[in-house]
Amino acid sequence: MTPPGADGARCPVHVEPPAPMTKSFSNLQIDSERLWGTIHETARFGATPKGGVRRLTLGPEDKQVRNWFRTACEAAGCEVYVDALGTMFALRSGRDMTKPPLGIGSHLDTQPTGGKYDGVLGTLAALEVVRTLNAAGIETEIPLCVVNWTNEEGSRFAPAMMASGTYAGDFTTEDILARKDADGVTVAEALEAIGYRGSEAVGARRLGAFVELHIEQGPILEAEGKTIGVVHNGQGIIWYDGRLTGFASHAGTTPMPLRRDALATFAEVVLAVERIARELGPEAVGTIGEATIENASRNVVPGDLTFTLDVRSANAATLDKFDIMLRKVFEEIAARRKVAVELNQVWRKEPTQFDAKLVDAVEAAAKELGYGYRRITSGAGHDACNLATVMPAAMIFVPCKDGVSHNELEDATQADCAAGANVLLHTVLALAGVADKG
């Protein structure tokens, strides 16, 4: 485990979680109403008519929620720092300030038709943990750091989990600052526009470990009637940019056998992705989430089409197999249809293995609090998945309604959100320890 130094330089550290805390705090609970209130208060920033949230990273709504988050963290006695990619670190002192803080948090940006809980629950539950410790007059042995990671979603700027990936040393800050959105705006320009281009080098703010609470974004916990998911691993992800180049021609005069139709070819490509994913069985998924006919016109045979492809599996060998099968099928389709198919890999995130000791600490907290729980794999990518490559990390899941997420219908119950925050609180107490008042 080698957390980064400044700008991704890696240096060895080994964090031994302190002994589990004394029983005297075992009945400490977060304030469920207060947490629920913050979730719905911040949902106003980018609220959509259908009850969802549209808060794309580094846009005006993200600025609003960032300002709200900074004010709330400072009011809770934290010092707030911002790094060169806009990630916000709210530091709560511990007795031993020589130790790297325990990081807790998630993200506050959303998908274009996102929900109120994805990322938000984990970030605001971390704030709620601080507020609860303040109210109980508890100082932890190790400092805490509540983190709002920039651009977890990867919708406006690729890749997803961009800032935590840079923090973990997977990208350089310069590379990421130059990334552009669909309108040609760079990350640097967007950060400047909302006033969150911080001065700290990415990775300079050391964390000793990281725990993230998140909704499951899948159906398992709800289907099994479990309240807590103890996340022990996460799927690997490959993102591709694709392009189909045929030949634009007249819709009325071009005989069918002579067409080099990029859209008809794309139809075969989409079904090939679905077939390969199904062939590889339950451990693989493949999604084409975006497609654009360039210079589209109703009476022109499409000649140029771009698309994006997201492939995932918890098994690295399955990811490799998926890639090989894709390229082989695409070549066959291209040759038969005389349409060039390009497939460029733009991001690969290996499958995640979370830290056994931290996973055990999450499980022990869920057990001690009496919640039904089960070990679970994360289908979604999360900032904790990047941090797990450079420090001990773990995740806590709670159910969401019908397993729906990345959709305005995303929903969760107050009781489950509170349960997740309580498990986070007790995991923090176990890992950060409680300062001995002497």
Contact set with Mn ion (CB under 5 A): 118-119
Length of the chain: 438
Rg (CA), the chain: 23
- State which residue, 157 or 266, has the beta carbon closest to ligand HGY: 157
The answer to whether 160 contacts ligand HGY (rule: CB under 6 A) is: yes
Kindly state the smallest distance separating residue 425's Cβ from Mn ion, in Å: 20
Three-state DSSP state, 29: coil
Candidates 85, 90, 120, 126; CA nearest to 105 is 126
Kindly state the smallest distance separating residue 303's Cβ from ligand HGY, in Å: 31
Task: Pick one of ligand HGY, Mn ion, none as the site partner of residue 198 (Cβ within 5 to 8 A by kind).
Answer: none
Taken in order 60, 120, 235, 410, the sign of the CA dihedral is negative
Task: Pick one of Mn ion, ligand HGY, none as the site partner of residue 213 (Cβ within 5 to 8 A by kind).
Answer: none
- State which residue, 118 or 170, has the beta carbon closest to Mn ion: 118
Task: Pick one of ligand HGY, Mn ion, none as the site partner of residue 228 (Cβ within 5 to 8 A by kind).
Answer: none
Q: What type of residue is 364?
A: A
| Integer CA distances (angstroms), 308 to 320, 325, 402, in order | 18, 17, 26
Cβ count near 395 (within 10 Å): 30
- State which residue, 118 or 363, has the beta carbon closest to Mn ion: 118
- State which residue, 215 or 428, has the beta carbon closest to Mn ion: 215
Structure tokens at 434: 């409680």
- With beta carbons less than 8 A apart as the criterion, state whether 57 and 158 touch: no
The answer to whether 380 contacts ligand HGY (rule: CB under 6 A) is: yes
Candidates 430, 426, 432; CA nearest to 28 is 426
Kindly state the smallest distance separating residue 198's Cβ from ligand HGY, in Å: 22
Q: Which of residues 219-278 bind ligand HGY (CB under 6 A)?
A: none
Pairing of strands 102-106, 144-148: parallel
Task: Pick one of ligand HGY, Mn ion, none as the site partner of residue 170 (Cβ within 5 to 8 A by kind).
Answer: none
Sole binder of ligand HGY in the list 141, 152, 212, 363 (CB under 6 A):
152
Sole binder of ligand HGY in the list 101, 381, 399, 433 (CB under 6 A):
381
- State which residue, 140 or 352, has the beta carbon closest to ligand HGY: 352
Of the CA atoms within 13 Å of residue 9, those in its CB half-sphere come to 5
Helix axes 356-368, 414-432, angle to 10 degrees: 120
Three-state DSSP state, 271: helix
Give the interface size with ligand HGY as a residue count (CB under 6 A).
6
Task: Pick one of Mn ion, ligand HGY, none as the site partner of residue 119 (Cβ within 5 to 8 A by kind).
Answer: Mn ion
- State which residue, 84 or 380, has the beta carbon closest to ligand HGY: 380
- State which residue, 102 or 125, has the beta carbon closest to ligand HGY: 125
The answer to whether 153 contacts ligand HGY (rule: CB under 6 A) is: yes
- State which residue, 310 or 363, has the beta carbon closest to ligand HGY: 310
The answer to whether 154 contacts ligand HGY (rule: CB under 6 A) is: yes
Angle at 16 between CA 11 and CA 21, to 5 degrees: 145
Residue 279 exposed, middle or buried by CB count within 10 Å (0-12, 13-18, 19+): exposed
- State which residue, 304 or 310, has the beta carbon closest to Mn ion: 310
Kindly state the smallest distance separating residue 383's Cβ from ligand HGY, in Å: 9
Task: Pick one of ligand HGY, Mn ion, none as the site partner of residue 154 (Cβ within 5 to 8 A by kind).
Answer: ligand HGY
Kindly state the smallest distance separating residue 84's Cβ from ligand HGY, in Å: 21
Distance CA 236, CA 353 (A): 10
Distance CA 221, CA 50 (A): 25
Of the CA atoms within 13 Å of residue 247, those in its CB half-sphere come to 13
The answer to whether 59 contacts ligand HGY (rule: CB under 6 A) is: no
Distance CA 24, CA 359 (A): 22
Cβ count near 192 (within 10 Å): 12
- State which residue, 119 or 203, has the beta carbon closest to Mn ion: 119
Taken in order 312, 313, 314, 315, the sign of the CA dihedral is negative
- Which among 146-154, 192-200, 258-266, 272-280 is the span making contact with ligand HGY, rule CB under 6 A? 146-154
Task: Pick one of Mn ion, ligand HGY, none as the site partner of residue 261 (Cβ within 5 to 8 A by kind).
Answer: none
The distance of Cα 310 from the centroid of its chain, to the nearest Å, equals 14
Task: Pick one of Mn ion, ligand HGY, none as the site partner of residue 381 (Cβ within 5 to 8 A by kind).
Answer: ligand HGY
- Which among 66-74, 147-155, 258-266, 354-362 is the span making contact with ligand HGY, rule CB under 6 A? 147-155
Q: Where are the alpha helices (DSSP H) in 43-79?
A: 60-75
User: What is the binding site for ligand HGY (CB under 6 A)?
Assistant: 152-154, 160, 380-381
